[in-house]
Structure 1
Amino acid sequence: MSACRLDSLEKCLESHLPEPELAEVRRILFGKETPKLDLPECAIEAANEQDFELKGYMFDAKKEELRPPRRIRVGLIQHHIVLATENHILDQINAMHSRVGEMVKVAAMCGVNIVCFQETWTMPFAFCTREKEPWTEFAESAEVGNTTRFCQELAKKYNMVVISPILEREALHNTLWNTAVVISNSGNVLGKSRKNHIPRIGDFNESTYYMEGDTGHTVFQTQFGKIAVNICYGRHHPLNWFMYSMNGAEIIFNPSATVGDLSEPMWPIEARNAAIANHCFTCAINRVGTENFQNEFTSGDGKKAHHDFGHFYGSSYVAAPDGSRTPGLSRTRDGLLVVEMDLNLNQQISDKWSFKMTGRYPMYAEELSKAVRHDFKPNIVKE
């Protein structure tokens, strides 16, 4: 079977393992079982009509004597581009708005409080073609752009926080950024978070288009909890997750665009590791499909010129601080993952494992301050 045709790891296991072994494999792979979430029949029917996968799971926490539960629902949306890359730019954007708008409508039926889209969701992931035109024309204002206004309407209509990762054009200096716009359920733009780490690996050499972000590790206080957005390549940097957590993030979203040959073995591990290490929930979102471009491009790696980056493998999932995680969405289909979580679990697991309390941060800070100096000498003892 072609790798891009494998629907999901979970379905493969279900097809080949008897139930007793399957349950044990699930425990090892995914941690404590995440029960399925009962979703409204109207939402299931709408997802079927719109031809996208709909899954729901839940993470619970122990009942406490002093604090009531803090249950909220997040929605992760992964999708193909709707129109081929040679179509008119505005047509591509409008088609994407229409598609995702229908999926958000279903998320609202499922009671979602916070929805997050994939990285630069309004466009093909063209940043590695080395072409500036026409792809930079997709860039919009984070504050008043067409896509932000579209998301503001969704947020107000459905009383939902919307995380909208776009290609941002900052008009004052005419600079481009890879940016996630965070829109409150009131419809107001709460702020933005720019991509902290820019890949320079294989096809994914994106510094031609934008540089490392300048918004630091911003955390947004919403009605439904404190959230942060760690865009794509930042998931490979443990300290990046850590700093969002240090600023109080209870949920860290990781909107991404990554292909199988490059990163798939790392995908199920990194966001889960971050949830464990930082006593918070993490949400990993990846696009799906193979996006073809009219002009061939190379990566300077000696390989033949090509028209695509490979298969974007979806597999979006949510991980909890106790080490458990949901099964992923499909590797091949558009999908909406709805996850109910009790944010009290963060403190409960922190009290149990105490990674934050036992961290030696002053020692790390002192040694890091030395390590970044040009005259740094490693602390190595030799015979």
Structure 2
Amino acid sequence: MSSCEFESLEKCLETHLPEAELSEVKRILFGKETKKLDLPAAAVSAASERDFELQGFGFEASPEQLRKARRTRVGLIQNQIVLPTDAPILDQITAMHSRVGEMVEVAAMCGVNIVCFQETWTMPFAFCTREKEPWTEFAESAEEGNTTRFCQELAKKYNMVIISPILERDARHSTLWNTAVVISNTGKVLGKTRKNHIPRIGDFNESTYYMEGDSGHTVFQTQFGNIAVNICYGRHHPLNWFMFGMNGAEIIFNPSATVGALSEPMWSIEARNAAIANHCFTCAINRVGTETFKSEFTSGDGKKAHHDFGHFYGSSYVSAPDGSRSPGLSRTRDGLLVVEMDLNLNRQISDKWSFKMTGRYPEYAEELTEAVKHDFKPKVVKE
């Protein structure tokens, strides 16, 4: 069985482990068991008819005397591109709108309050083919583009906050950005955040398409909680998650596009670590499928030119601040993961572990200030 045919770690464990051992292995791998949500039959039927996986799980907090539960439902959507990469651009965008739109409809049936799509969801992930055309033609205005208008209609229709990661064209400055547009459940554009860290790893060298973002670590206050968007490669940088947390994020979404050979062993760890370290929920979304391009390209690794980056392995999941995490979606199929979370859990875990209270932030800041100077000398004691 090839890696791209391997459905999921969870299904493999359930198939091959005895029941008694399975529960203990899951406890070690995934933490406290998440409850399965009882999703509407109409939603389950619609997902089956539209050929995508639908899963639902819930994280609970302890009842409190002075605060009511703060339950929010998030939806994570992972999907393959619909049309070949050499199809007309407008046809590709329209097909993606149609596909994701029908998945958002099912999310609404499931009571989702906030939905997040994968990185640059309206197009193939073509930023490492070494070609500018036709890929830069997919870029749109974050405020007034066709995709933003499409998402505004969905947000108003379903009373849902929508996080829409796109390739942004900033016409005023003739600049392209890897951007997530945040649209309120009222249909208004609440704001945008730009990818803070740009990979320069073999195929995944995106610096000729867009540069590091200039929006800092913005947190968006919505009716359903304070949210932030840590786009793709930023998940490898603990301080990136940390700064979103310092600005008050209760849920941090990580829309991504990453392939198995490059990052899969790290995938299940990084967002979960960030949830633990920052006393918040994290949502990891990865696209799925193998995208083939007409022109060959090389990876800067001495190997022969090829037509694809490899298999995007999906496996989207949600982590809680107590270290538990939901099962992941499939490695091979389109999917919608619905997760209900009580945001009160963030403060409860913070009170228990006190990571923020015990952090030595003035000392860290002082030492970082010194570390970025050109004449910095590491504090090393030698014999």
Letter in 2 for 1:93: I
Structure-1 separation of matches of 2:309 and 2:381: 46
Letter in 1 for 2:250: E
Say whether residues 1:23 and 2:29 are aligned partners.
Answer: no
Equivalence map 1:119-268=2 (5 Å): 119-268=119-268
Runs of 4+ in structure 1 off by over 3 angstroms are none
Secondary structure of residue in 1 paired with 2:39 = coil
Answer 1 or 2: which has greater strand percent: 2
Deviation string 1:34-77 (CA, Å, 9 cap, x unpaired) is 01000000000000000000000000000000000000100000
Equivalence map 1:39-188=2 (5 Å): 39-188=39-188
Structure-1 separation of matches of 2:226 and 2:183: 13
Residue 338 of structure 1: aligned partner: 338
Secondary structure of residue in 2 paired with 1:326 = coil
Number of matched pairs: 383
Structure-2 separation of matches of 1:22 and 1:6: 19
Structure-1 separation of matches of 2:307 and 2:66: 58
Structure-2 separation of matches of 1:241 and 1:288: 24
Secondary structure of residue in 2 paired with 1:13 = helix
Structure-1 separation of matches of 2:66 and 2:300: 60
The Cα of 1:202 is off from its aligned counterpart by 1.2
Secondary structure of residue in 1 paired with 2:296 = coil
Structure-2 separation of matches of 1:300 and 1:122: 27
Identity within the alignment, %: 85
Structure-2 separation of matches of 1:99 and 1:317: 21
The Cα of 1:122 is off from its aligned counterpart by 0.1
Letter in 2 for 1:169: R
Letter in 1 for 2:306: H
Gaps of 5+ in 1: none
Structure-2 separation of matches of 1:29 and 1:300: 35
Letter in 1 for 2:265: P
Secondary structure of residue in 2 paired with 1:185 = coil
Letter in 1 for 2:35: P
The Cα of 1:301 is off from its aligned counterpart by 1.0
Residue 305 of structure 1: aligned partner: 305
Letter in 2 for 1:22: L
Letter in 2 for 1:223: Q
CA RMSD of aligned residues (A): 0.3
Residue 270 of structure 2: aligned partner: 270
Letter in 2 for 1:8: S
Structure-2 separation of matches of 1:359 and 1:134: 47
Secondary structure of residue in 1 paired with 2:56 = strand
Letter in 2 for 1:338: V
Deviation string 1:115-142 (CA, Å, 9 cap, x unpaired) is 0000000000000001000000000000
Secondary structure of residue in 1 paired with 2:15 = helix
Deviation string 1:236-283 (CA, Å, 9 cap, x unpaired) is 000000000000000000000000000000000000000000000000
Residue 9 of structure 1: aligned partner: 9
Normalised by the length of structure 2, the TM-score is 1.00
Structure-2 separation of matches of 1:21 and 1:301: 42
Gaps of 5+ in 2: none
Structure-2 separation of matches of 1:339 and 1:381: 49
Say whether residues 1:32 and 2:37 are aligned partners.
Answer: no
Letter in 1 for 2:38: D
Secondary structure of residue in 2 paired with 1:93 = helix
The Cα of 1:109 is off from its aligned counterpart by 0.1
Structure-1 separation of matches of 2:364 and 2:268: 28
Structure-2 separation of matches of 1:202 and 1:34: 37
Letter in 2 for 1:233: Y
